[in-house]
Amino acid sequence: MDPYEQTLLAEITLGDEAKKFFNSDIGRFILGRATEEIDQALSEFKDIDPTDDKGIRNLQQKIAVAEKLPIWLNECIVEGEQAMAVIDQEEE
């Protein structure tokens, strides 16, 4: 098996693992916590002093980090599906 095929298989495996994680109890818990983190930060935004630059940046950072988790998982899943499509096309 050449390195390209190994990479495709690794992407497929990782994508499958990401799907399983996404649908697992721990995955749902962590994604739920990320959503709670975003909601909490947005709530705090409503009451923060507009001159509190450091506080505003801190809340923006909390939101940005929490938003990345589902994005990264989805990217992993999509890359795995794309790798599977490449292999399927090569087999035809």
- pLDDT tier at 7 (50, 70, 90 boundaries)? very high
pLDDT value of residue 67: 96
- pLDDT, mean of residues 7-14: 94
Helix intervals (H) in the chain: 3-23, 25-47, 53-91
* Under 8 Å between Cβ of 61 and 38: no
Instruction: Say how far apart CA 78 and CA 63 lie, in whole Å.
Output: 23
What predicted TM-score, i.e. pTM, was given to this entire model? 0.77
Q: Which residues contact 83 (CB under 8 A, 6 or more apart)?
A: 7, 8, 9, 11, 12, 15
CA 47 to chain centre: 29
At 13-59, the pLDDT tens digits run: 999 999 999 899 999 999 999 999 999 999 999 999 999 999 999 99
Q: Domains of the chain: which residue ranges?
A: 3-85
- Of the chain, the end-to-end C-alpha distance in Å amounts to 18
